[in-house]
Amino acid sequence: MRSTLYILFLLVIISTSCEEIIDVDLSDSEPVLVSEALILKDSVCKVNLSYTYSYFDPSASPAEENAEIILSDDAGRSEMLYHQENGYYKGNTLTGDEGRTYTIGINIEGREYSGTAELNRKPEIIGLDYEILSIPHNTDIEPVYSVKTVFKDRPDEDNYYLFRYYRNNEMINDYFSTYGDRVLRADTLTFSDFRMDFYKKDTVRVELYAIDEALYNYFSRLNDVLFSAMSSSTPYNPQYGFSEDIMGYFMAASYDSRTIIIQ
C-alpha cells in the first residue's frame, strides 16, 4: 500500500552516495517523485515510482508509468527495467552480487534522476528464540512474547543492521528495527525489539540486513517520520541513495532469514 511516507518492504541496503533531507511543503507543494528502488543479492532490480501531493491526503499518490529506467554496475553490465503495472518496474537478467556497486538512472520526459548503491556482504543469523515480556505493553491477559535474534557480528569494524519482522506471513510495517554495534561488539550478538508483540502459535520470520551507517540513519529518520505522523505533525522527508529533487531510496542488499513458531 502506498502512502506519502512511501515505505517499501524494504526493505530494504547500501553504501555511499548522496544522503540529503529535501525540504518539501507537504501540504501545498507540487508533486514530488518518489522512488522505492531495491536490488537484492541474486535477484533483479525492482522499482516503484509514484508522486506525492498533500501529506494529509495519502490517497492522492498517482503512479509514474512512463519512465525510462537503466540499471548498471561497476563491471560494465547494464539493462533497462520495464514497466509492469501501476508504477512498478522490473529488470530481467542483471542480478545483485556482493561487493558490486550499482547505478540507477531514471528519465521522465527529460528530467533525469540517478542513484548509487553498493551491495554489502550477507549477514548470518545463528538462531531465533523467544521469551515472555516481563512488562507487557498492553493489557491483554494472553502472554506477550518478544523474539530474540542471535547473529554473527564483525567486531573489528562498525556494523549496522536492519531487522524485518513477519507475523504469520504478514510483514509488520509499523516501524523499522535498526541496530548499530558501536556500543557492544562481539563475535555474536543478540537483538530483541520489545515493540514487537507476538503471541502463542504465531509464526515469526525475521529478516536481517547488513546496512551502512548512512542507511541506518535513513531508517532512523524514517521512524521519526512515522511517529511524527501519528502525532499529526508534518515531518521532514528522508531521502537516501538518490540525487536531489526526488524522495525515497535506492537499496542494494543481501540478507539472511529464519523462522520460529511460538509454542
User: What is the secondary structure of 139-161 as a DSSP string?
Assistant: --SS--EEEEEEEE--TTS--EE
- Judge whether 167 lies within some domain: yes
- Judge whether 172 lies within some domain: yes
Given a cut of 90, whether residue 182 has pLDDT beyond it is no
Per-residue pLDDT at 107 = 97
- Judge whether 63 lies within some domain: yes
Per-residue pLDDT at 211 = 84
Per-residue pLDDT at 74 = 97
> Could you give the percent of the chain with pLDDT greater than 70?
77
Higher pLDDT, 138 or 201: 201
Residues 140 and 189 both lie in one domain: yes
Residues 86 and 216 both lie in one domain: yes
Higher pLDDT, 181 or 115: 115
Given a cut of 50, whether residue 184 has pLDDT beyond it is yes
Q: DSSP 3-state assignment of 128?
A: strand
CA 29/CA 88 separation, integer angstroms: 24
Per-residue pLDDT at 58 = 53
Given a cut of 80, whether residue 8 has pLDDT beyond it is no
> Could you give the percent of the chain with pLDDT greater than 90?
50
CA 149/CA 147 separation, integer angstroms: 7
Q: DSSP 3-state assignment of 222?
A: helix
Higher pLDDT, 127 or 197: 127
Burial 39-54 (b: 16+ CB within 10 A, else e): bbbeebbbbbbbbbbb
Residues 166 and 56 both lie in one domain: no
For residue 75, the tally of other CB atoms under 10 A from its CB is: 10
Q: Which three cell numbers stand for residue 102?
A: 550499482
Residues 37 and 117 both lie in one domain: yes
Residues 102 and 140 both lie in one domain: no
- Count how many domains the chain has: 2
Residues 172 and 241 both lie in one domain: no
Higher pLDDT, 134 or 250: 250
- Judge whether 168 lies within some domain: yes
Residues 107 and 40 both lie in one domain: yes
Average pLDDT, the chain: 81
CB 121 within 8 A of CB 98: yes
Residues 215 and 113 both lie in one domain: yes
Lowest mean pLDDT of 26-40, 69-83, 162-176, 193-207, name the range. 26-40
Q: How confident is the model at residue 195 (pLDDT cuts 50, 70, 90)?
A: confident
Residues 191 and 231 both lie in one domain: no
Mode of pairing for the β-strands spanning 247-253 and 239-240: parallel
Q: DSSP 3-state assignment of 175?
A: coil
The parent domain of residue 249 ranges over: 32-121+211-255
Q: DSSP 3-state assignment of 50?
A: strand
Residues 80 and 136 both lie in one domain: no
CA 128/CA 121 separation, integer angstroms: 21
Cell 504478514 belongs to: 170
Q: How confident is the model at residue 26 (pLDDT cuts 50, 70, 90)?
A: very low
- Judge whether 6 lies within some domain: no
Residues 230 and 246 both lie in one domain: yes
Helix H or strand E segment including 51:
strand 44-52
Q: How confident is the model at residue 134 (pLDDT cuts 50, 70, 90)?
A: confident
Tell me the CB-side half-sphere exposure of residue 196, using CA atoms within 13 A.
26
Task: Give the alpha-carbon dihedral of 81, 214, 41, 237, to 10 degrees.
Answer: -40
Per-residue pLDDT at 176 = 81
- Judge whether 87 lies within some domain: yes
CA 130/CA 134 separation, integer angstroms: 12
Provide the whole-model pTM. Answer: 0.76
CA 15/CA 120 separation, integer angstroms: 8
